[in-house]
Structure 1
Amino acid sequence: FQLTMQSGSSSNGSGSWQRQLLSNVHWENMAAGVAGGLLSTLALHPLDLVKIRFQVDEGVGASGRPSSRPVYRGLMHALSSIYRTQGLTGLYAGVVPNLWGAGASWGLYFLFYEAAKVQLQGGDRTARLPAGHLMGAAAASGAVTLMFTNPIWVCKTRLCLQYGLGSGTSVAAHRYRGMLHALYSIARLEGLPGLYKGYLPGLFGVSHGAIQFLVYEKMKNQYTSAYQLAANAKLPTLVYLGCAALSKIVAAATTYPYQVIRSRLQEQHRESRGALRVCRDLLAVEGWRGFYKGLLPTLLRVTPACCITFVVYEHFATFLMPLRHAT
């Protein structure tokens, strides 16, 4: 997307535009995003764990399927099986990188998104932007954020899939002791490509954030217009909840297949495969339904998670912003 540069093409004008953009970067947006991401992730991580295990499961009769991979009959069976065999610790496998990833992702996303949006508004936070500008700001923010967080998501996937490593598979699987050990091990054994596995389908997932933020902003605009409120007015908590839930459901339902592909690229139990091969194998063995494996636990997790994140963000940002002007 293009940010309007009112000062023309001169070097002084360019410097002025850059200073204006930097002035729109507020730490309050990042702090509010981090808080929302951490709370929602801590509350709902077990559903994220089950989602990933469903996504990578090719079925009992699949060729090359690791013998150590557990078989789950459904969401409740998966949760109860993990708890019965590993306790609460098992349900929170991979929670550390998930907390780091969620905190960093939401913090950076809101930081870049709000800065880009205010720039497009010309500094007027009450101005309403067209759909194209909102999607552009969200997509660009998602792409930049993914550059920083993809290695964390690889670690999270690997830690969530630690079951019976080393048996029944040709992959030189590794037992990770934690997030830092996973980062070090992946970097040492697989190099930079290992840390950025799933990056390309992750870029496709940028459309997820673009759709979500577009629907979220449009629903808020509809509400403020109907009640003749300013575009940046503080709204009731129930309004934030409704906008967040519906926007997340729409985004998740329309872009979910990329998450399945990314999880299969990032897992440690299969030989390295490209995104196109994963898509071809998945379609040939499991059909189009395979692209939606784990959708139920995903919706059960991301909908309340998104509600928590956005409500905490909106209220936290509203609380923090006046402090900037008071200091």
Structure 2
Amino acid sequence: MNALLNCNRGVETAYGADQFTATLAQAYSNFFEHQTFVFPVPTGTAGNGLALGAVTPPYGTIFCHERAHIVTTEAGAPEFYSGGGRLTLLPGEHEKISVAVLENGLRRHGIGNVHHMAVSALSLTQATEAGVVYELDELEELSAIAHRAGMKVHLDGARLANAMVHLVATPAEITWKAGVDILTFGTTKNGTMNAEAVITFDAAIAKVLSYMHKRAGHLCSKMRYMSAQLLSYLEDDLWRRNALQANQNAAKIANILAQCPDVQLVHPVHINEVFAILPPRLLEALRGKGIQLKPWSFQHKGQGHRMVMSYCDSADQIQQFEQICREAPAFIESTA
């Protein structure tokens, strides 16, 4: 918020020619330890669509997990931005793509067959929609397979900061050093208001993106308001502090739930998300105290709930949740 106020003074040149946007590339090049090209966008959907559209021709297909965000919740944005590309869906536990699954998928699809869509991109979500993180060696091996097949590697990094904190990895290690060509760098889930970024380390991809960015309507006239947020996000390791706090809050909630009878944690808790199947008595107790959890359907495991923790969840809120969980059986008996 301070960054927004500070950039709201005087007169600046429009369409990204302002002093704040001018420093983005250098700031993020320092952050990633590599020449970096940065294209601010207001949403993750815009970011994923542009990033994948820049590396996928109309006759190309994008390999991704069947439960990836680009499949389930982005209304065909990659297909739209690529002008007709397609998604090839792969299975995987905890919504991760394994090496074996990717290799099998490529064999079944066929490479270089003009009767099939060209294999153009591999999209990986870090962390996955199940809140589970790809280890660095997994990223490296998957990227190597994709590159040998002639594909570019895209990283949907909606929660990339949380993944970096979990892995104790540097921005370089989790992206270009692992073989990532282009990524959607999410920041709104970790503090910014309306600023995400498409980032590539490839000058040729950046040239394509420069035209697509404008044509898609994302070269904002007052770009400085987005750029100021993206710059502030890096200052004094704000991204790291926010992500670390959110991850720690989720770990506390997971530990509380693990001690409750009949609670099943569906996925490992790596970042700031907890997925669980809760008994009716606990749900009723939480609702009785005004806490509504988001229903979430798990394949082969039925109905459960998704809980996402923030860097600004207070110790009092977590303590209240713990107290309700401890008192849930007695609460239900008293209201029966």
Per the TM superposition, whether the score is higher than 0.5 is no
Superposition TM-score, scaled by structure 2 size: 0.25
More helix as a share of residues: 1
Higher relative contact order (CA 8 A, sep 6+): 1
Superposition TM-score, scaled by structure 1 size: 0.26
